[in-house]
Structure 1
């Protein structure tokens, strides 16, 4: 793959660009963005070799789409119209059902691979791009059987070269599971930040008392609303289900507090400590 076009040269797109260039210095990475300032910054940071437009992807060997999921849904059919028969489009969206649905009957469906590299930070933009972001991370691939074998083979080889573990899942299962392990985490962080900000209006010293526990829990509240609002919208049904379960657990905890049932609270926390074993098994 000589000509790679990255649409959205931010944290994910920019980090992919850095690692791909490190793997193969001869590859030419073209950046596409609706903002010229983003492309200027990406050039100055050596994330891309050239600026490009959507019209240029007729020359692409690989197109990586790393933009908000609502824009991906709108743009993907048009991108498939333009991609050459030998080219492949890969997305990095955090939802998969709507993205897969919009191209299910496209004549060039075989030129698209639905993926979700589960990696990132709370930062955004070209400045957020870092080397090695995907090392040891899971990349979920959906509907791999709908992608031409030779094209999927090239993409999977690239992902593995970047250090990713590959997992296969259907779009519906992906969206359901990711609502628990990612989307709910972000909502919790945003709402904790909101609660503390509102309280801080009356108690100015609250942030002076905030330790590393608060900082780590609220870290995701620094994430981009432009990216996360469309994710919540596309995965609305699953997100509401996870919120119902989460709110029920919070209500139960509150009830234990009101009843001075600290033995129950202890048992709740002790039982939940099992998550350490689960996470150690993943690491």
Structure 2
């Protein structure tokens, strides 16, 4: 009886205690100083007359800039599609039990990851210097179809090949990491049910591996959007090339680079939103209680506000 009363007293004493958060005055002072410094820099940047904000507004929605932005988005989409498709094939070949296929995949990844992307873009652009024509036929035999390399590999095609084949080498390692993250018991269970290796990969392994593959793939897509700026070296009229063409005539470099930064930020923000919802969709099986989306948070806040006003 006395022990029960003692426990009850300790429980009531614990309930009466109030947790006081640890005070960190240094962090608060640092936050105030950093905020003041950022506001100071932002104010000086915005009010600087040499920024030529009128020029920024003039060219922000210029047709030349919009066309360059469309080319950038097209390059990103085509290069990522080629990179993802090639990465899946290379990852499967890399994990093949056939040593020839596995080593060929390893060699491709070694070459394309080990050489600079700019060099690869220039290589595809100047390919016609060593291969003037491209044909389809029997090796060391007759050629049935033949085309001029310059006609076949245009500037845009060279950019897509350079970006996409380079990306495939990185996507191969991302896909391989996702596949190896799936437990081997899943493969054994599928084989016990009589499924072939292709069916197991398509129906069992890849759907589970997508949870691991999607986050780095989203990062690669965002990186690809910015990497397309390298195609200025082969004169593809994407966003940065269009910007450079304008400021080479009016000499307003910084205002026009601000325009480029604005559109890159807009495009990457849209890709970030898409990545967020894709990760949320494929994470449903891993977590029952998914955090609310920003739109759901806004709706909940608006509903709570209406309920408080009604009361």
TM-score range, shorter chain: under 0.3
Relative to the length of structure 2, the TM-score reads 0.23
Q: Flag the structure with larger Rg.
A: 2
Higher strand share goes to which structure? Answer: 1
Higher helix share goes to which structure? Answer: 2
Task: Tell me: higher relative CO, structure 1 or 2? Use CA pairs within 8 A at least 6 residues apart.
Answer: 2
Relative to the length of structure 1, the TM-score reads 0.24
